[in-house]
Structure 1
């Protein structure tokens, strides 16, 4: 029953699909054409059982809660497991390297694992399935997925190795009540973030003007967010050139140091997102730069003291450009899976329009699809104000990757994360970045050589 009927899919069909996706147009035009003759049957793999490895978060909670609906629809049983992010990535690496993964479907952090997964042949190219009218639901609508998510999901040669499930936009949380008390408006530029932080910083009352990640490795997206304001990514996606020790990178590091040294709470050098979230939720910080996917607890009265006071703002423009750092999670099928058909049915269901809409309505983050933002149900919430949805929609229009799309992403984060953390202890930004660049350069070169 597990044998997949890929049919007479030609190389020309694959190339057509690749070109359409790369051009960010109606990617599945060929899929739509095929679906006109579809013999798709949700019960095709009835009786099979699949294993799904998730990351522990509210989005996984929603999917697990709805698994009975999937089983009722397909007859496929699901055994899923949520694992904390870092441990889940380690487990994926170990099991894929062994060649015997215990799961059929895996959630990958594409901002970290995209190229690693492709080089290691962890997951399948989904194009044959997308183009098979017997395997892809006519209502799946690949064109509904946003360009940012599809860029993450598509490899340089056009292979589509995952379906984008969640896109995280980095933005600026701010305490509306604190801003109003000081007569301040939302910052219109990165420089105005510093100005506002200075006015809002009040250690005598236990209030920091600003908080962000200071912990090595975790702090990289803070730095890259500021660097995007200079119109640069840390590694040029076209040339592969490192932009990590030039004047723009130094400016971003100095900006990071100033906010975290002068206006952050004590101990920020050891803060990851969870410490920042707690600090902001308890009303001990006026602003917090991070992903909008962390918003839900801020509006939960059992976890937050600032319910109804949270503002959601698009990252302000920098000196030369206006961008939001973006990150993406995608679902893929393990190449070693013996139940690829059932696994593909699960991915189609998990990323369908209804489940993506449910994610948005629950405040569990930004879905990979565009249709939830156009659905009145999606942008009406008792929990979140309009600016929450506006922030996601507008951030998506200016999004650029917050991490370089390279294989040694972890080494990059470790090496430059230490450099940034050192600046919080008084080290010179230029000296630290030059040292980190020289350390990382051979690592990058070796990885590019294969």
Structure 2
């Protein structure tokens, strides 16, 4: 049965909304079940400013914000901003030393190293060890390894709490596949063949869509690269973006986007891809698992009940689920750190994680959410969606390099990928982009 999350009692909130608990930092092992309950009202009367990324995660936090306010007596002013603008705003304000927000929703896969190096996030270690601020019901093992790796810096310091993991999956139109007598592809080669078989431009049907806009397009290519057994930066810290495997991944991107994607795809970000898929004229869409809910909404979608959700097909070398993640943290400049921490704690609670998962808006990093049979039964998405989530975990790999200039990485290689859609040569474009980015990376890593 579905867990009733609509009207939680205070006891449920204290149990389920409890924060990142006992062992999330060194020295927390001694915090046990007998510890005092969190004093949620200790900062009643405070007003917090919260900076969120426009996303299903941000929607969920705003939808239930009033419950946090009632629990704590803290007033929350939250704002959602599209991710590119949000990142720019964050850098400008945090660099000034006087940000207008106390809490910030961050994309670990883009902002982790930048925020760590600049010291923009408060150290949450002391809060995590305080039983009056942190419920002891959680242990470190409740969080997926990727979440902990994202949240910790190189010194083991927690600069944020792991919020949601975003695996990239393939959304596919079962009706279009059936009409052509096709099965879902299990390899990259089969993916290409299926995309081209499904495409009928005269009827406005296209076999594949993914992000084509500069910057947004880079994760599509780097995702394909994982299937060739390479990541953008090797274990030795050297760029691998002009390797034979990277060039093959670029050629795969070019073929799919020029032979099987809709006209104008060079301007598509995720929203345009989603909109095209919703119309029922796209065979496959490759993007994050958290973009699923509108597909099953009869008010927005023409493909309700017709969508398949699958882990990424196997590449020539390995099957890899591209992995991204976001977190939520307290700004170092905030004068309201404890109150802000309470908000972050509530945001990543089991209750909020259950809501996110059940609505299909994201995948919490918490094992206690993913493994709870009652929560899984309450997932409103089709069973194949949660199956795709479960199957992605064991083959997950970080998609983007964890570096400070990740935005520049996406920009530089995004130009090359845009040129590919215009007919550029994959080897020439990847080599040119690699040479352009190499000094940028070197400067960022200099002492």
The TM-score normalised by the length of structure 2 is 0.91
Q: For the Cα contact (< 8 Å) 2:194–2:207, is it kept in 1?
A: yes
CA deviation vs aligned residue, 1:363-413 (integer Å, no higher than 9, x gap): 111122122222233323574211100111211221111111000011111
Aligned to 1:251: 248
Higher mean Cα deviation, 417-426 or 376-385?
A: 376-385
Q: Select 1:203's aligned residue among 196, 201, 204.
A: 201
Structure 2 residue 101 is the aligned partner of structure 1 residue 90: no
Q: Select 1:226's aligned residue among 224, 227, 232.
A: 224
Aligned to 2:389: 392
Aligned ranges for residues 178-327 of structure 1 at < 5 Å? 178-236=176-234, 238-327=235-324
Q: Matched residues in 1 for 2:379 and 2:322: separation?
A: 28
Structure 2 residue 346 is the aligned partner of structure 1 residue 349: yes
Higher mean Cα deviation, 309-318 or 365-374?
A: 365-374
Aligned to 1:173: 171
Distance 1:396 1:382, change over 3 A: closer
User: Which runs of 5 or more residues in structure 1 are unaligned?
Assistant: 1-20
Aligned to 2:45: 47
Q: For the Cα contact (< 8 Å) 2:23–2:139, is it kept in 1?
A: no
Q: For the Cα contact (< 8 Å) 1:35–1:133, is it kept in 2?
A: no
Q: Matched residues in 1 for 2:310 and 2:406: separation?
A: 28
Aligned to 1:15: none
Aligned to 2:111: 113
Q: For the Cα contact (< 8 Å) 1:154–1:161, is it kept in 2?
A: yes
Aligned to 2:35: 38
Aligned to 2:328: 331
Q: Give 4+ residue runs of structure 1 displaced > 3 Å after superposition.
A: 25-30
Distance 1:142 1:347, change over 3 A: farther
User: Which runs of 5 or more residues in structure 2 are unaligned?
Assistant: 1-19
Q: Report how many aligned residue pairs link the two structures.
A: 426
CA deviation vs aligned residue, 1:296-350 (integer Å, no higher than 9, x gap): 1111112111111010000011011111111111001100111111111111111
Q: Matched residues in 1 for 2:446 and 2:430: separation?
A: 24
Q: Secondary structure at the match of 1:209?
A: strand
Q: For the Cα contact (< 8 Å) 2:359–2:381, is it kept in 1?
A: no
Aligned to 2:406: 409
Aligned to 2:148: 150
Q: Matched residues in 1 for 2:102 and 2:185: separation?
A: 46
Root-mean-square deviation (Å): 1.8
The TM-score normalised by the length of structure 1 is 0.91
Shift of 1:29: 8.1
Shift of 1:57: 2.2
Q: Matched residues in 2 for 1:200 and 1:275: separation?
A: 20
Q: Secondary structure at the match of 1:378?
A: helix
Distance 1:318 1:447, change over 3 A: same
